[in-house]
């Protein structure tokens, strides 16, 4: 019985080495072998099934394919690991050398970006908020801008580390934060942070923490409040870490306070006092 031991498979190859009983019987032209097989099959079509069955049993085709698949998988995994490592290294560089953030009054051209960020899937899952239309966001921000006690603030990323640097053309709009002053003049002066939204391309880089700290500086030093509080959903771990890094402490919890997508979630109240800032 003849057994194929090796074959050239680069398209231009024309010969195959054949052995019988362990001894070489020379070289056979591929086209000649193909013609011979064709004649055999033409005489008896059942031979085609036999040849195919023999080929499958020998695994001559399947083995090289499996080797190629395993090799490709190993390469994909290696490249994937390298990309993940590079991503983490780039994020660490960004955290250390990423520059400052600056807060400014939100303007009409900012609204579409804020609306787009708010409707990103990850943002809606973190905040447990449904999709809102551009018109709804436009109406809300215009109402906030008209209120003297509400501060809709756009977050700009800048290469300038100066705390009070003026926003320049090199600044990039990367997020939104809302700060409000609550209470009457004769009551305790309280501030509330009710939104912190960062473009998904700039998350986990420390910009949210920088923005919250900048908002607290404005609240305590410019607006003149004595305490700032906020509410956050219990499973929004990234936001909780950001607020804790900014100095907020847990003060209350509302069980099953938010319903979203058939589930109920707790909400945490966090606050920071001016004397602790």
Residue 200 confidence (pLDDT): 86
| Helix (H) / strand (E) containing 153 | strand 150-158
Give yes or no for residue 263 having a pLDDT over 70. Answer: yes
Q: What is the pTM of this model?
A: 0.61
Mean pLDDT of 222-242: 92
At residue 260, what are phi and psi to the nearest 5 degrees?
Answer: -150, 125
Tell me how many degrees the CA angle 84-204-252 measures, rounded to the nearest 5. 140
CATH topology of domain 99-276: Aminopeptidase (3.40.630)
191 near 212, Cβ under 8 Å? no
The pLDDT tens digits for 147-196 are 999 999 999 997 655 443 334 445 899 999 999 998 766 567 899 998 89
Sorting pLDDT into bands at 50, 70 and 90, what band is 268? very high
* Res 64: pLDDT: 54
Q: Which residues contact 276 (CB under 8 A, 6 or more apart)?
A: 247
Q: Starting from the edge strand earliest in sequence, which strands make up the sheet with 227-233, in order?
A: 100-105, 150-158, 172-182, 190-198, 227-233, 263-273, 249-260
**Domain ranges for the chain:** 2-60, 99-276
- Mean pLDDT of the region 106-127: 87
Cβ-based neighbours of 213, under 8 Å, separated by 6 or more? 246
């Amino acid at each position: 019985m003849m057994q194929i031991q090796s074959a050239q498979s680069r398209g231009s190859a024309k010969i195959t080495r054949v052995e019988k009983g362990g001894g070489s019987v020379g070289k056979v032209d591929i086209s000649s072998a193909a013609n011979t097989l064709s004649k055999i099959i033409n005489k008896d079509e059942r031979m085609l099934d036999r040849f195919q069955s023999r080929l499958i049993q020998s695994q001559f085709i399947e083995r090289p394919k499996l080797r190629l698949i395993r090799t490709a998988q190993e390469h994909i995994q290696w490249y994937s690991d390298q990309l993940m490592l590079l991503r983490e290294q780039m994020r660490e560089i960004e955290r250390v050398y990423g520059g400052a953030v600056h807060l400014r009054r939100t303007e009409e051209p900012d609204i579409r970006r804020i609306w787009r960020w708010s409707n990103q899937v990850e943002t809606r899952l973190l905040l447990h908020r449904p999709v809102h239309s551009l018109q709804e966001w436009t109406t809300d921000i215009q109402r906030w801008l008209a209120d003297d006690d509400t501060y809709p603030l756009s977050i700009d990323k800048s290469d300038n580390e100066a705390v009070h640097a003026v926003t320049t053309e090199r600044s990039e709009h990367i997020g939104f934060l809302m700060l409000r002053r609550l209470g009457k003049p004769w009551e305790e002066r309280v501030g509330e942070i009710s939104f912190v939204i960062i473009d998904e391309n700039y998350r986990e880089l420390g910009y949210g923490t920088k923005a919250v700290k900048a908002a607290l500086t404005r609240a305590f030093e410019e607006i003149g409040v004595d305490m700032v509080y906020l509410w956050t959903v219990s499973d929004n771990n990234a936001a909780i870490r950001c607020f804790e890094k900014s100095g907020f402490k847990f003060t209350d919890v509302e069980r099953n306070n938010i319903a979203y997508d058939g589930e109920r979630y707790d909400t945490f109240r966090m606050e920071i006092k001016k004397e602790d800032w």
